Structure 1
Amino acid sequence: MTAARRPNRGPKAAAHNRAALIAAAREAFATTGYDASLTDVARAAGVGQGSLYRHFPDRLSLALAVFEDSIGELEALAAEPGTTLEEVLALVTEQAIASTTFVRLVTMPPQPDPRILAIRERLARLLAAGLAEAQRAGRVRGSVTTGDLVLAVGMMALMLAEVPAAERTETAGRIWELLRHGIER
């Protein structure tokens, strides 16, 4: 006896399927990393692989859809009046703790794909604005560049990927404590 098949809802299901795929991929990338099984993602979303590939022709397209929310969250925070560099870095850190995949992909892309580089540039713009304010206020050394901050975030993400999820918050705190000595006045 085979399982009953769900009726095909056609184009009406497209938005729901896309959202389900993004949610399933977010979970898979957070727990397994960027190399998570796309078959498992489709299964967790309750759709077939054909649906996955109709929405996302490759792994990177799916990852970018997942991470669009993360960069959007950072942009929203940075747009709030009075937001500091420290607050933006804290949110980047929270995102890295939850899923090292996003920060690693954006700060150290495996290939120079223009889609990844565009998100990296968005992150750099957020950090640049906060950096300028922190330098004017005398909290950060004048010699620190936006590239330095992107590098620091990338180093943190690389390290967090190597520790169990339960230890990431403590490890991230220790990493930033060490890095602060290099960037603060």
Structure 2
Amino acid sequence: MTQQPRSDERRPASGGPKAAARNRAALVAAAREIYAEHGLDTPLSAIARRAGVGQGVLYRHFPDRAALALAVLEENVRQIERAAAADGADLPRVLGVLTWHQTESTAFVGVLHADGVASHSGTPAYAVALSQRIERALRRLLPAGHPLAAEPDDLMIAVGMVSGAVTGPTREQRERRALAAWRLLGVEVGPVRPFEE
């Protein structure tokens, strides 16, 4: 005979807080991959399937499409901030991380343009805030006399220009174009890859 739990006993949730954190991380990773492959209009059910969770789990973490996209963008920005704060960080290395995100995410490219157009286009405040965080992370590494330090707006104008060059159906093509744009601007970029601690 199986014993039923007493009414004052709580059954553990399926995996508890650790599973919730894992599920959220899996959803953000799956969204990043799917957005890179198919764009932001991909059905949320495809993201849940890729993450290996049900749609109910997705909606517990992200009540709508915008919340999930914002979580992906937030993680992109956090990676750049961590790369900029890491021991031995330098501008070329962090620009390599930034360029990786540019080639992976169309939505991220839009965020990189947000600060310069906010007053004209009604750009959401979150996009402006994310763009400003990227600028602060990069500016801390900008050596005096660097070509991107000549005028206050030069850094993010250059980032926006490179973002505009990031086109093509494959990540490799987008990366090649991004690196060509940095080269034409006379800016050294380190290896194009995500930041790993």
- Kept after mapping to 1: 8 A contact 2:32/2:105: no
Number of residue pairs the alignment of both structures matches: 167
For residue 63 of structure 1, report the CA deviation from its aligned partner: 1.9
For residue 38 of structure 1, report the CA deviation from its aligned partner: 1.5
Report what 1:121 is aligned to: 132
Q: Rg larger in 1 or in 2? A: 2
- Kept after mapping to 2: 8 A contact 1:30/1:100: yes
Which of structures 1 and 2 has the larger relative contact order (alpha carbons within 8 angstroms, sep 6+)?
2
Report what 2:174 is aligned to: 168
Report what 2:146 is aligned to: 139
- Kept after mapping to 1: 8 A contact 2:167/2:177: no
Q: Could you say what secondary structure the match of 2:98 adopts?
A: helix
- Kept after mapping to 2: 8 A contact 1:160/1:168: yes
For residue 159 of structure 1, report the CA deviation from its aligned partner: 2.6
Deviations 1:35-78 (A, max 9, x none): 33212112222333332222112222212222333222211221
Distance across 2 between alignment mates of 1:139 and 1:116: 27
Matched AA of 2:179: G
Matched AA of 1:50: G
Matched AA of 1:104: V
TM-score scaled to structure 2, two decimals? 0.71
**Superposition pairs for residues 29-68 of structure 1, below 5 Å?**
29-68=35-74
**Superposition pairs for residues 150-169 of structure 1, below 5 Å?**
150-169=156-175
- Kept after mapping to 1: 8 A contact 2:91/2:141: yes
**Superposition pairs for residues 87-126 of structure 1, below 5 Å?**
87-97=93-103, 99-109=104-114, 112-126=123-137
Structure 1 gaps, min length 5: 1-8
Distance across 2 between alignment mates of 1:112 and 1:176: 26
Deviations 1:20-43 (A, max 9, x none): 211211111221222332121122
Deviations 1:104-131 (A, max 9, x none): 1321348522222221121011122223
Matched AA of 1:105: G
TM-score scaled to structure 1, two decimals? 0.74
Cα distance change of structure 1 residues 113 and 163 upon mapping to structure 2, 3 Å threshold: same
Instruction: Looking at secondary structure, tell me which structure has more helix per residue.
Output: 1
